[in-house]
Chains A and B, each alone.
Chain A
Amino acid sequence: MRSKYKKYIFLIIILFCNSAVSQTAEEFSTKTAFMVKMSYFINWPESSILNKDNSTFIICIEGSPKYFTSLEDWATTGKIKKRPVTLKYINGDISELSSCNILFITSNHNLSSYLDIAREEKILTISDNPGNAQRGVIINFFNVKNKLRFEINIDEAKSLGFKISPRLLKLATIITSGDIK
């Protein structure tokens, strides 16, 4: 366990102290690191696939794999909710979504479809586009003064049955239904 944590911590340190090839890859590395840590403070709904199938934790990614190399590296050994982590790139194939526990959406293309399925399958949705929280994404990253911050659509989370730790909530910008324009 300890060696695993060390690896995990090491990864985070790499992410934080990013001197990666590209700015984008570094950015995603931080975001995915945040995503992994956030999973500690979130409980999935009873009816989600996570609580039915306890074999692996599947992170689905709607975006280019080149931004997720660090995550992939980490996923070889890292665990979420005591399960080995599997990355799955969607590439527009909606049918792949049913097995996902987290869906990371890098573009807003066909967003509503994804969100519909995510609502249906009780999948935690994460994105990094401004205004997506208001659109129905549960967690959405944004930058303030060059520091990565995130917002949480608490109503969406609640409606899907996710329980989020206050310790996580106190760091997030809370988006409610009233904020949606």
Chain B
Amino acid sequence: MQLFYNLSLRSKITIIITGLVALVLTTGFSLHLYSEVRLMKERVLSEKTLIARIVGNYSATDIIFNNKETALKSLAYLKEYPSIINAHLYDNTGKHYISLYENTHEHNNKPDQDYEKPWHQFTDENFNILEPIFIDNQKIGSIYLHTSISDNLKKIKDKVIFLSLLLITLVLLATSLAKQLAKVISQPILSLADTATNFTKNKNYELTLKSNNKDETGQLINAFNDMLQEINKREKENAVANEKLKKNEQNLKSILDNVVDAVITIDDKGSITSFNNSAEDIFGYEHDEIINKNISQLMPEPYASEHNSYLQHYLLTGEKKVIGIDREVIGKRKNNETFPMRLAIAELPKDPNGIRRFTGTCQNLTKTKQQEELLRRTQKMDALGKLTGGVAHDYNNMLGVITGYAELLESALTEHPKLAKYAHEIFHAGQRGAKLTRKLLSFSREKLTEEDLVNINALLKDEQHMLEKTLTVRIKLILELDENLWPVWLDINDMEDAILNLSINAMHAIDGNGQLTLSTRNEKVDVMDTKQLDLKPGDYITLSVTDTGCGMDDETKEKIFDPFYSTKGDKGTGLGLSQVYGFVKRSGGTIKVYSEPGQGTRFALYFPRYNKTRTISIKNKTTNTEDLKGNETILLVDDEPALITLSAELLEQHGYHVICAENAEQAIQILEQEPVDLLFSDVIMPGMDGYQLADFVRMQYPQIKIQLTSGFTDNRHMNMINDDLHKNLLHKPYNTHTLLQKIRELLG
């Protein structure tokens, strides 16, 4: 049976149809033959019964009236039937009366039967019948017919042979037809199977089957095609969805891996289930070594216990003490370093297993704290700078008046040498005061600048000898200079002062023998460094001043740039480092201090690389003020009456016609009435300032030359002012020579 199941569908159909046809035909033919035999027997029986009865009846009177002659004649009619072999008549006692053919003794074979009952018998080739003869219900005798059925049997046999041949022919025909039918049925199934195999192996979902039939196989193929289309459609949708999902996952992962903050997920037991790249960076753990560890490992005590108790409390009560709230805590790295961080915890939806999950976002606050500190200090320094700047500005104006009049006095007292000497002393004292003011302004960054292109290496080499002398032999000076050092744009005098200040501080810090290293190098500051260094991205030159001195504690380090702060007691002015600080800031750079008590100190000064062409004013120095005289009309504008009077005095002494105005508005009114050759104006004035006045004059009176003067550089005007005016600015306090020289240069 299993063998049959393993056969191909085609073979099965062929076998089944052939078998069924053979079975049906064989059964039909057998029934037909059986029926034929039965019919033949019935026919033989009825025919022979009829003959027996007719002849018996016909012979009845022969027996009754005992007339054998007529009886024989009666029987002689049976000779017409070739199938009748013999016939016998018996009387009512059963005794043989007469036979058709007396030469045989078959009548003796008459069965021992109740002679009143009809009897018949089929043998292989014979049919024998005994039929009683009745007249008027009285038994007269009986007739016995011995017949042959060989003819009938021959017909039956012929029919059997014919039917057998017909059966074989029909079965063969059925087999052939069944094969064709099986082919018709199995062909679409085989092509379906081929397509399905192709479909499965090659993942070719674009396949379709052609069907011209509208029968069941056609419907099957159509359904199969529909199924393929549906699968194809679903495959495409799945592919698109998978691609989208994959992209989303990648996107999400890259987002998580690239967020600056550490993102950590934990389960309800506090076990870490995910740890992003930033978390690895911040905490110093590799992803695989921290997964499944408890979150408390990432915090020192008491934060870890506190965190656990908060979490347990939330899980038990649902009270949100830390969930959804960000707070500052202390984190712990793998190397047990601690750092400030901002921790925000949120509850995630439960995972597929129903376990509650939490996500923690940790922001490293180390840099933020540093920035905050820097900002605080910068704000403090700015406040101090503004205070000192304001004071220094007023001082400058007053010193200008003092030195100016002292100069005038000195030149007027040529005939009284003693008095002239007093005036000269006043002048020098004013000069010293101006120097002190300059230091204050240097700190406040509101200093008069005389910037130039400087090679720090060359400067250090020039200063080396002087420094070595200053530092004495107990301190060894080492220069580590970058040969390809970029040039910088700064005030060379300030630079010299800064180097000297730092070197002297180092000397004071070194007790006994020591070493001072001055090193330069080029440095690129990128975006990442800007916050830490408080610089814009770009190229910088660094000058490091490193000593092997006593170093500083944090408290000292915080105050060293404050003006008037000194560790040297009465020996120091407290303005050295604040001057350096102001100078570096003013030059667009920054200064960093690295120091540990007992380990020494390093100051790192950053200056921006010079990369622009700047016009450098050519200073033609003339020593004789006699050559600086003129007769042009000069309009003086200044809100400081003492200074304006002084300047007017000086200029008038040198032949100039001077008109004075206390503010810009007054100056404009004068300009409308008087012809003026040169405008000499202070920059900082109430109302319209010097630059605005200069712009107005340029527009309205382009022939008038302009000279501006100021106590300090006001950075507010840096971006809007005419560069030439700014460059040519005359810085207060100016001496007579400088003033006259500037004016003569302009008037030609």
Contacts and interface: CB of A to CB of B under 8 A. Distances in A.
Contact of B61 (A5, A9, A16, A167): A167
Interface in B40-91: 57-58, 60-62, 64-67, 70
Contacts of B62: 171
B65 A9 contact: no
B92 A37 contact: no
A150 to B, nearest CB: 8
A37 B60 CA distance: 11
Contact of A168 (B61, B92, B136, B137): B61
A1 interface: yes
Contact of B135 (A16, A40, A171): A40
B138 interface: yes
Given A9-B92, A16-B66, A170 B138 contact: no
Contacts of A165: 61
B58 A5 contact: no
B135 A170 contact: no
B61 A171 contact: yes
Nearest to B74: A170
A5 B138 contact: yes
A1 B138 CA distance: 9
Contacts of A41: 61
A34 interface: yes
B97 to A, nearest CB: 13
B517 to A, nearest CB: 168
A165 B67 CA distance: 16
Contacts of B58: 167
A37 B61 CA distance: 9
Interface string B87-101: 000001000000000
Given A9-B92, A167-B57, A167-B60, A37 B137 contact: no
Contacts of A9: 92, 138
A37 B139 CA distance: 13
Interface in B105-139: 135-139
Most B-side CB within 10 Å, residue of A8, A34, A171: A171
Most buried by A among B58, B92, B138: B138
Contacts of A8: 138
A34 B57 CA distance: 18
Nearest to A172: B65
Contacts of A5: 138-139
Decide if the interface of chain B is mainly helix, strand, loop or mixed: mixed
Contacts, number: 26
A84 to B, nearest CB: 16
Interface in A154-169: 165, 167-168
Nearest to A170: B70
Given A1-B137, A5-B138, A40-B136, A170 B61 contact: yes
A165 B135 CA distance: 12
B51 to A, nearest CB: 16
Interface residues of A, number: 14
Interface residues of B, number: 16
Interface in A1-20: 1, 5, 8-9, 16
Q: Dominant SS at the A interface?
A: helix
A96 to B, nearest CB: 29
A8 B139 CA distance: 12
A87 B552 CA distance: 188
A136 B424 CA distance: 225
A168 B283 CA distance: 146
Interface in A166-181: 167-168, 170-171
A49 B66 CA distance: 31
Contacts of B92: 9
For A8, A9, A34, which residue has the most chain B Cβ atoms within 10 angstroms? A9
A9 B94 CA distance: 14
Contacts of B66: 16
Contacts of A16: 66
B135 A34 contact: no
Contacts of A167: 57-58, 60-61
Contact of A171 (B57, B70, B137, B138): B70
Contacts of B61: 41, 165, 167-168, 170-171
Nearest to B116: A2
A4 B138 CA distance: 10
A114 B72 CA distance: 39
B103 to A, nearest CB: 25
A1 B136 CA distance: 11
A41 B60 CA distance: 11
A1 B67 CA distance: 27
Given A9-B92, A41-B61, A171 B136 contact: no
A14 to B, nearest CB: 14
A1 B139 CA distance: 12
Contact of A37 (B57, B64, B67, B70): B64
A9 B138 CA distance: 9
Contacts of A170: 61, 70
B21 to A, nearest CB: 58
Nearest to A37: B64
B16 to A, nearest CB: 66
A67 to B, nearest CB: 20
Nearest to B71: A171
Nearest to B61: A167
A85 to B, nearest CB: 15
A179 to B, nearest CB: 21
B6 to A, nearest CB: 77
A48 B94 CA distance: 39
Q: Which of B64, B65, B70 has the most chain A CB atoms closer than 10 A to its own CB?
A: B65
A170 B62 CA distance: 9
Contacts of B137: 1
Interface string A88-128: 00000000000000000000000000000000000000000
A9 B62 CA distance: 16
A167 B67 CA distance: 12
A170 B64 CA distance: 13
Interface string A31-70: 0001001001100000000000000000000000000000
A171 B60 contact: no
A66 B137 CA distance: 32
Nearest to B62: A171
A167 B137 CA distance: 16
A121 to B, nearest CB: 25
Nearest to A168: B61
A168 to B, nearest CB: 6
Contacts of A37: 64-65
B403 to A, nearest CB: 193
A171 B57 CA distance: 14
B61 to A, nearest CB: 4
A34 B65 contact: yes
A37 B67 CA distance: 14
B95 to A, nearest CB: 12
A110 to B, nearest CB: 30
A40 B134 CA distance: 12
Interface of B: 57-58, 60-62, 64-67, 70, 92, 135-139
- Listed from nearest, the 6 A-B pairs whose CB atoms lie closest are A167-B61, A5-B138, A171-B65, A40-B136, A37-B64, A171-B67
15 contacts: A5-B139, A8-B138, A9-B92, A9-B138, A16-B66, A40-B135, A40-B136, A165-B61, A167-B57, A167-B60, A167-B61, A168-B61, A170-B70, A171-B61, A171-B62
Given A40-B135, A170-B70, A171-B61, 11 more contacts: A1-B137, A5-B139, A8-B138, A34-B65, A37-B64, A40-B136, A167-B57, A167-B61, A171-B65, A171-B67, A171-B70
